[in-house]
Amino acid sequence: MDKMRMESEDIQQENVKKIAALFPNCVTEARDEGGHLKKAINFELLKQMLSDSVIDGDEAYEFTWVGKKASIVEANRPIRKTLRPVKEDSVNWDTTENLYIEGDNLEVLKLLQESYLNKVKMIYIDPPYNTGNDFIYNDDFKMSSEEYADETGELDEEGNRMFKNTDSNGRFHSDWCSMIYSRLMLARNLLSEDGVIFISIDDIEEKNLRKICDEVLGESNYIGCLVLRTATDNNPSQINVEHEYMLCYSKNKVRMGNWSIISEAADKIIAQYRVLKNKGLAIEEIQVQLRKWIKQHKEELPQVAHYNNVDSKGVYSSSSNSSNPHPGGYMYDIIHPLTGKAVPKPQNGWRWPQRTFEEYDRNGEIEWGKDHTTQPHVKKRIETVRQYLRSIINRDNRSTTQMLMEMFDGHKVFDNPKPLDVIKDLTDYTTDKDSIILDFFSGSATTAHAVMQLNAEDGGNRKFIMVQLPEETDEKSEAYKAGYKNICEIGKERIRRAAKKIHEDNPDARFDDGFRVLKLDDSNMNDVYYAAGDYTQDLVAMMESNVKSDRTDLDLLFGCLIEWGLPLSLPYTSEKIEGCTVHTYNDGDLIACFDENVPESVIKTIAKRQPLRAVFRDSSFASSPEKINVGEIFKSLAPDTRVKVI
């Protein structure tokens, strides 16, 4: 039942609607005096629509919206934040190379800029679709948290800047465009030169996303649009919508190679061949058994059923004749190895020059007939049968939802998870076995699951970085009732359960099934700054520590990694040297000691190890002369080491 409006009609907005009915191209968006979006009229364009001649004015081909310039400024604005390690939520903290980061993804992306600059091979994201039922991130960081909360009421209990994108807000595009624009600006920096990004979207914002990507990533780097068939729309009006999109862009299309993987059907034949070979059968018997199996499964093996020959190297097809399909081929005699007589020449000549043919023969890649009356065939190995990423992907999301429910003991903890096999295929086609994959709208962590699954199948060592805002679950939802108070709890638990299931299904597989949890937080450092004239002897003596009291050595270590641009997933050790705790990151990329009053002997021990970087606390030294002495020690023992204090 609709509520009474209890206010007079908004005549201005009603007039806008009337103009929109006549001239929809003249309707745009603007902010009112309170900063809220509303429908507005582009009067310059309206004048042109009502004129029979060209109205004076500058024209440019551009895509813009309310807040675009502010979103650019926000993407470039520095922040005083850090990522704090959470070992108790992590799995295999000491050995894993995977990361799960909790926090606003815009701020997290800013913190990752140095550590992962040009290092990410693939990004997949599934951002909000602006449907009127999702959350939109509000990136107004110009106000303090207190001011923001007082003025807008759009902070949740943990201070996260997001608001429910209601049906009324869903009519507008500007907020959504600003949200995705700033994040894509930062994400582009992380992509390697041959990196690629996939973005899921639906009809509402697909056209705007395409324009934004053209601008941020470059129109020339557009690779294509995948159409993902999803479950049927339960409430159609005119068209029953059964699909979503995945836009695909590269960092630098010139650097992109071909995307192909071995055919799924071919892989089935190879797997069956290996089963027969492991039984110790002779080659002739393997061929007999394989042909029998292929005949029984012919419908599952489109276009590869003729790969049914076996030799000592494996499975091949001999259907590829060496004759040239077009006039102008090579003419020379090919002598049959048994009869010593020339085989018949093709009418158009041989496909390859004689030297190439002889090389194939030396490598055992020619299949000869029983005598010289038959032309020889080239063996085409089944491993060469490749398949390419197709623009139409037929998947039913209901099976994915069911799979996730089974993983969580029958509880529906997440709505509309992305198809696992689709993300796995994207990763398989576009990454190498040691690539980094990033998803900064992680959701239920499908991408992490897909990376582990693929690594288990092909022996890869791909690493994932998941980023997710800890959005609270609805108290009425199954997820909340099952004990998951926010989406991050769901994502982390899915990774744990997925890893266990993959191990059960692939007992011999070895893959990284862990992840380090990091949480976005305020800086480790206190604001201890005074104007020069404010300093007194008493103030210097009583000055509080520049490090917050609740921060640990591990917090400080990871803060240093971010500042110095080191990856956050590398191994480190901690040891005691003369009572001081010394941390060594990645065998000497960085050595840190955050103790008070570090003895000179410990400083010399660290310097003799000649790390690339060394860091101490400001309070590690009792006086300025001692701090100067540290610099001299490193100049003498480790002149190439960069030394800093926090």
Q: How far apart are CA 580 and CA 594, in angstroms?
A: 8
- Judge whether 444 and 490 are in contact, CB under 8 Å: yes
Compute the average pLDDT of residues 550-579: 96
For residues 551 and 481, membership in a common domain is answered with no
- Judge whether 299 and 467 are in contact, CB under 8 Å: no
Final residue of a structural domain among 353, 385, 417: 385
**How crowded is residue 321: how many other Cβ atoms within 10 Å of its Cβ?**
14
Q: Of 470, 549, 447, 482, which Cα lies nearest the Cα of 517?
A: 470
- Interval 424-467: pLDDT, tens: 999 999 999 999 999 999 999 999 999 999 999 999 999 999 99
The CATH number of residue 509's host domain is: 3.40.50
Q: Based on C-alpha coordinates, what's the Rg of the chain? A: 32
For residues 549 and 516, membership in a common domain is answered with no
Quote the tokens at residue 245: 């999109």
For residues 79 and 194, membership in a common domain is answered with yes
Q: How far is CA 223 from the centre of its chain?
A: 17
Q: What is the pLDDT of residue 135?
A: 55
Domain assignment present for residue 594? The answer is yes
Q: What is the pLDDT of residue 168?
A: 53
- Interval 353-400: pLDDT, tens: 999 999 999 999 999 999 999 999 889 999 989 888 989 998 767 788
For residues 81 and 137, membership in a common domain is answered with yes
Domain assignment present for residue 248? The answer is no
Compute the average pLDDT of residues 200-224: 93
Domain assignment present for residue 439? The answer is yes
Q: What percent of the chain is predicted at pLDDT more than 90?
A: 62
Final residue of a structural domain among 520, 551, 575: 520
Per-residue 3-state assignment (H helix, E strand, C coil) for 177-212? HHHHHHHHHHHHHHEEEEEEEEEEECCCCHHHHHHH
- Interval 280-321: pLDDT, tens: 999 999 999 999 999 999 998 988 999 999 999 999 998 666
Q: With 90 as the cut, is the pLDDT of residue 167 above it?
A: no
For residue 334, give every residue at least 6 positions away whose Cβ sits within 8 Å of its Cβ, in sequence order, or none.
Answer: 342, 343, 350, 357, 376
For residues 273 and 345, membership in a common domain is answered with yes
Higher pLDDT, 150 or 314: 314
Q: What is the pLDDT of residue 495?
A: 98
What residue type is 339 in one-letter code?
Answer: T
Which DSSP letter does residue 524 get?
S
Q: What is the pLDDT of residue 6?
A: 42
Label residue 32 by pLDDT band (50, 70, 90). Answer: confident
Compute the average pLDDT of residues 182-200: 96
Q: What is the pLDDT of residue 59?
A: 74
Q: With 90 as the cut, is the pLDDT of residue 230 above it?
A: no
Compute the average pLDDT of residues 74-78: 88
For residues 555 and 638, membership in a common domain is answered with yes
Label residue 65 by pLDDT band (50, 70, 90). Answer: confident
Q: How far apart are CA 470 and CA 520, in angstroms?
A: 10
Domain assignment present for residue 249? The answer is no
Which DSSP letter does residue 367 get?
E
Q: Would you give the end-to-end CA distance of the chain in angstroms?
A: 60
Alpha helices in 105-205 (DSSP H): 105-111, 145-152, 174-190
Q: What is the pLDDT of residue 577?
A: 96
Q: What is the pLDDT of residue 22?
A: 80
Domain assignment present for residue 328? The answer is yes
For residues 54 and 83, membership in a common domain is answered with no
For residues 109 and 180, membership in a common domain is answered with yes
For residues 122 and 183, membership in a common domain is answered with yes
pTM for this entry: 0.82
Domain assignment present for residue 639? The answer is yes
Final residue of a structural domain among 494, 520, 546: 520
For residues 432 and 467, membership in a common domain is answered with yes
For residues 175 and 91, membership in a common domain is answered with yes
Residue with tokens 């602006």: 130
Q: What is the pLDDT of residue 551?
A: 95
For residues 40 and 95, membership in a common domain is answered with no
Q: Would residue 35 be called left, alpha or beta, if left means φ above 0 and alpha means ψ between -120 and 50 degrees?
A: left
Domain assignment present for residue 270? The answer is yes
- Mean confidence (pLDDT) of the chain: 87
Label residue 531 by pLDDT band (50, 70, 90). Answer: very low
Number of structural domains the chain divides into = 4
Min mean pLDDT across 51-65, 454-468, 499-513, 610-624 is at: 51-65
**How crowded is residue 574: how many other Cβ atoms within 10 Å of its Cβ?**
12
Domain assignment present for residue 397? The answer is no
Boundaries of domain holding 36: 11-59
Q: Of 520, 475, 512, which Cα lies nearest the Cα of 495?
A: 512
Q: What is the pLDDT of residue 236?
A: 75
Q: What is the pLDDT of residue 165?
A: 55
